[in-house]
Amino acid sequence: MVRFLSGVVALLLVAAPAAARDILFIGNSFTFGAGSPVEHYRPASVTDLNRDGIGGVPALFRSFAEQAGLDWTVSLETSPGKDLAFHYANKRAAIDRRWDVVILQGYSTLDAEKPGDATRHGIAAGQLAALVRARNPRAQVKLVETWSRADLTYRSGSRWSGKPIATMAQDLAAANRRVARTTPGISGTIPVGLAWNRAIATGVADANPYDGIDPGKLGLWADDHYHGSTAGYYLEALAVFGRVTGYDVRRLGAKERSAADLGLTGNQAVALQRIAWETLRRNR
């Protein structure tokens, strides 16, 4: 009888959902899914601290968590075209509460006035991390490494003009990792841009939206060649979810709910899940 009861307890412990956790996304249009249906996806499933009715990448995170049997409460504080310094200067009252995990997504070029310069970005990231960790010293604060902008690669006038499409994402990844290494309170980065690069390099996604989308490939950019498409944001959300939770996103599979809701096929979902998993594995 004792052995039987011990087995029952063990099964219950295995089946029990993970403890509830809170996550806050701080960012901009790259966070809330501008330019795609992701922006208004399941807004009631998350808490928008600005009450703008946004779902975005946070709602995808929440959907993945539900399907994986993980209990996460998801909130967001976003503003279009803003960097992290804006959020620290103007949104501290909303942000200043206890969180388990905070995701920081900075401006697409790190600094609007000095593209590629991470100085302002790093200072603000440190200030936000200090604010969060004053409430919860064990909070994890992670930086999102964003993607290459096609409009700044294939058009003239940018520091990335004429360079390979992967270069901007590589530069942003390196800059964010330097910030994470040198800034107290930052616990790591999330390689979203490198996941985009991998999707392009392996033929899952198209490299140049200006000459059309190659047959059988996904377009990762929205029509402005700047923001993400549904597929682009889906890949972003997979990378964030996999890095934060440690969950193998390939397990979501071809029947993953959000992909179907947003018009991605099962095969496309599986391909993007594989890309996210491979990128996270290679960028620990």
The number of distinct structural domains making up the chain is 1
Does residue 2 belong to any structural domain of this protein?
no
Beta-carbon contacts of residue 205 (< 8 Å; ≥ 6 apart): 196, 199, 217, 218, 219, 220, 231
Inter-residue contact 194 to 145 (CB < 8 Å): yes
Question: Cα separation of 75 and 65, whole Å?
Answer: 13
**pLDDT score recorded for residue 284:** 85
Does residue 229 belong to any structural domain of this protein?
yes
**pLDDT score recorded for residue 4:** 41
Does residue 122 belong to any structural domain of this protein?
yes
Does residue 13 belong to any structural domain of this protein?
no
Does residue 5 belong to any structural domain of this protein?
no
**pLDDT score recorded for residue 20:** 66
Q: What is the pLDDT along the chain (284 residues), one digit of tens a residue?
A: 444 444 433 333 333 344 669 999 999 999 999 999 999 999 999 999 999 999 999 999 999 999 999 999 999 999 999 999 999 999 999 999 999 999 999 999 999 999 999 999 999 999 999 999 999 999 999 999 999 999 999 999 999 999 999 999 999 999 999 999 999 999 999 999 999 999 999 999 999 999 999 999 999 999 999 999 999 999 999 999 999 999 999 999 999 999 999 999 999 999 999 999 999 999 98
CATH number of the domain that residue 86 is part of: 3.40.50.1110
**pLDDT score recorded for residue 19:** 61
Does residue 83 belong to any structural domain of this protein?
yes
Torsion angles phi and psi, residue 74, rounded to 5: -115, 130
Does residue 123 belong to any structural domain of this protein?
yes
100: domain range?
20-282
Question: Cα separation of 233 and 220, whole Å?
Answer: 8
